[in-house]
Amino acid sequence: MFQNNKSLSKFNYKNFLEFFFYFIIFITPLITTYNDQQNINRILALQIIFVFLLLFQKNSLNLIISSIKNNQKTVIILSLFLISITISYIGSPGKIEDWGFEFVRHKYLQSVIYFLFFIATYIYLNKYQLNFKYFKKVIILSALLFVLITYTRYFFEVNSEIYNLLSFFSTIRSPGYVLTSLISLFIGFILIKNSKNLNFTDIAILSTLISLVYFFGGRGNLISIIIACIISIIYKRIIKEEIDVLIKTFLISFLLAFVALEIFKLIISLSSVPGVSVINYYTIFRYNFLDRLEIWIACLNLFKENIFFGYGPNILILLQANGLLEIGNWSKSNMMVSHPHNFILQFLIEWGLIGTLLILFLMTKNMLKGIIILIKKQNKYLIIPVLNVAGLTAHGMVDGTYIHPVTVTFLLISNAMIAANVKFK
């Protein structure tokens, strides 16, 4: 009797851990729809809780020791990376007496929590199998709720800051980042299904998500999703599977998304509510690419001044705020740039060459591992995290997907899935 109760208790804790993992995946994108300065802390708190839940399970120490033994080289590189970014933090111009020190300290602690969450997620996925149906459902439900809440708030919250994209996501900006992650994951689900005929449910979901991409008009967002689509077609061709249905699914979804957005804009324009304006997706073609170029040149010059360990976290906005860095027309317009809009430059100026090379080596090694497994048809489920990382990385070349806590959370989970060669039940 006692032994049965122990088994039941163990079974329940395992299920609770799995439930909490799904909960993180589900709630993390939705947290951003609530405009509050504590959003980042809420996401970090979820990650900390998951780490502690894993530590409190039976035989957790054995799991950790086993993972270290099986990944000694990776552990060494990760340890060196943590030491490197700590040196960058200690050497940062942000001093304790400065107001900017809080930014520096918070970003450093953020990085440490991400580090621990990745390790915990890898250990968990290496030990347990996820339920594919639950995993798929929580992502799709979260994505659809994200779209519904965004459209609903836009339509009903008149005369509020909802009409300002930067205000809507003031603390952890840019819904486009979140959409890149959600859409690339959903494309992975479509590939896993491998339908021989058009699936109109998939088309409806994908077109709904893409309509919000058009709505916000994010160039990097749209291009990264197109890249994810192209990668998925190439992958299907490499493993010698039919691509006709997949191509039709993508084309119809992009077209229906455009139609859906026009209908929404028509509804808004017909409303009698004063002061309503619609964010125009033609902003994709309106902005000046030279703005990005000015940021990148300034970051390269900054990197040259401290090559090996960089200036520490959040350095770009800290230097501008103290009048120590000017970025072309941005500074002339009294505007500050919060990040380099390129994750490699971000790594270089914050962590320096040493930290950047260490993390890029691990990321590349992990991604190549996933690609090789996919090409060899050893685990088809890896297409989901591989597409997610690929989409967010493409977006990160021109924007901030590697600093946004939602997309970083999905990057950590996806990389852990690849590293653990995740299996589903």
State the pLDDT at residue 7: 46
Count of CB atoms within 10 A of residue 234's CB? 11
Q: State pTM to two decimals.
A: 0.89
Count of domains for the chain: 1
Which parts of the chain have pLDDT scores under 70?
1-11, 35-37, 94-101, 154-174, 268-289, 330-334
State the pLDDT at residue 62: 87
Domain of 318? 2-419
Q: Which helix (H) or strand (E) holds 112?
A: helix 101-127
Cβ–Cβ under 8 Å, residues 384 and 188: yes
State the pLDDT at residue 96: 53
Cβ–Cβ under 8 Å, residues 341 and 292: yes
* Residue with the two structure tokens 């040149």: 297
d(CA 98, CA 312): 15
State the pLDDT at residue 271: 61
Q: Would you say residue 178 lies in a domain?
A: yes
Q: Would you say residue 424 lies in a domain?
A: no
d(CA 241, CA 107): 44
d(CA 409, CA 116): 12
Q: Would you say residue 181 lies in a domain?
A: yes
Q: Would you say residue 82 lies in a domain?
A: yes
Q: Which of 28, 30, 326, 278 is nearest to 155 (CA)?
A: 278
Q: Would you say residue 425 lies in a domain?
A: no
- Half-sphere exposure in the Cβ direction for 196 (13 Å, CA): 0
* Residue with the two structure tokens 């111009």: 93
Q: Would you say residue 15 lies in a domain?
A: yes
The two structure tokens encoding residue 53 = 């839940």
